[in-house]
Amino acid sequence: MTAVIETRNLSKWYGNVLGLSDVTLQIEPGITGLLGPNGAGKSTFMKLITGQMKPNIGSALIQGEKVWNNYSLFRRIGLCPEQDTFYEEITGWEFLTGLLKFYGFGASEVKERAERALEIVELAKDKDRKIRGYSRGMRQRIRFAQAIAHDPEIIVLDEPLNGLDPLGKRKLIRLIKDYKGEGKTILVSSHVLPEIEAMTSDIILIHQGKILAKGDIYYIRDLIEAHPHIISIRCARPRDLAARFVHEDYLQKMYFGPDGGSLMVETHKRDKFFSRLQSFIVEDGIDVEEITSPDDNLQAVFDYLVGK
């Protein structure tokens, strides 16, 4: 299969800070996950392959054409940036149609495309509301809508699930997966493995500006299994919960968070732990505010891959 995105010795420095170092790879159609901790170079890579920045060394190519300064190529790319990029005082409709006009579509086509994109992201009802009033999930979806509205062949999504609640995440993951079916090339970045895992099995691991691995997610999964998972449970009675877990032999370590309001657990058997956690919560009536999995396990994999 032909590579849609290709980089050759791609490198970028910000002054003395290394952003990306000697990246040579090919990305094929379908969804590819770009996985790495914060500051790994994911956004730099995405900005370079979308022509937002000029590489110091090497080149980024889309369908064989160099990206930098190749403005007509940008029609084939849909970029969903990480941060909010809106004028808050305009409506979702104005935002979308305004951006679509840059592609030279006629008025009726702009309308038609904007409507279609809003339908896809399920924002048609809210199109006339000002973006100021949009929830985080809606903002993320309208950002996705602007990336797909002109029907690009390549869609680049920079941390699209950041800050979304579980429902919002599920909706957006479904959208992205649906879109893949239309024969697009989608590159999506995240620092959370399960998020990527929910979308694709094809990943690129990036760390400190270097590509550590590219390929199947199951390989990474296996590596992760070799390192304990860290799970944080923020709840009203973390000490009571700890008392229930103290006899469970599959836990490696258990300690309290810095503010004393959360219980931190390290385990190799995540599924077993969650199953027990559920029953303890129900039996003891413990109010749980939040359960998170800090990325330390992913960091451990990175450390392993870089030979630390």
Partner 1 sequence: MTTIREKGYAHWDGEFIDRRFPWWPITRTSIKLAFQRKHFKFFFSGAFIPAVVFLVGIYISERIEDFRFMFKGSDKLLVINPAYFKTYMTGDFLLFMIVMLLTFSGAGLISDDIKHNSLQLYFSRPIRKMDYFLGKASVIFFFTLVLTLVPGLIFFFMKLVFSGNFDFFLAYPWLPLAVFAYAGLLTVFLAFYTLLISALSKNRRYVSIMMFTIYIFSESIHGILFGIFRNPYLALFSIKANIQQAGAAIFGQKLPYAFPQYLSFLVLGAVCLLSAYVLKRRIRGVEVIR
Q: Among 276, 271, 254, which residue's Cα sits nearest to residue 263?
A: 254
Q: What is the DSSP string of 280-303?
A: HHHHHT--EEEEE--THHHHHHHH
Retrieve residue 84's tokens: 């909010």
- Among positions 5, 20, 23, 50, the unique one binding partner 1 when judged by CB under 8 A: 50
- Rounded to whole angstroms, the Cα distance separating 186 from 188 reads 6
Q: What is the DSSP string of 150-161?
A: T--SEEEESSTT
Count of positions on this chain that bind partner 1 (CB under 8 A): 51
85 binds partner 1 (CB under 8 A): yes
In whole angstroms, the minimum distance from the beta carbon of 134 to partner 1 comes to 14
- Among positions 57, 104, 174, 284, the unique one binding partner 1 when judged by CB under 8 A: 104
Q: Which is nearer to partner 1, 16 or 247 (CB)?
A: 16
CB 127 within 8 A of CB 92: yes
In whole angstroms, the minimum distance from the beta carbon of 283 to partner 1 comes to 40
CB 187 within 8 A of CB 16: no
Mask: binding to partner 1, 188-217, rule CB under 8 A, as x and -?
Answer: -------------xx------------xx-
Q: Among 217, 223, 202, which residue's Cα sits nearest to residue 25?
A: 202
DSSP state at residue 54: -
225 binds partner 1 (CB under 8 A): no
112 binds partner 1 (CB under 8 A): no
List contacts with partner 1 (CB under 8 A).
1, 4, 14-15, 17, 28-31, 47, 50-53, 63, 71-77, 79, 81, 83-90, 98-99, 101-104, 146, 153, 180-181, 183-185, 201-202, 215-216, 218-219
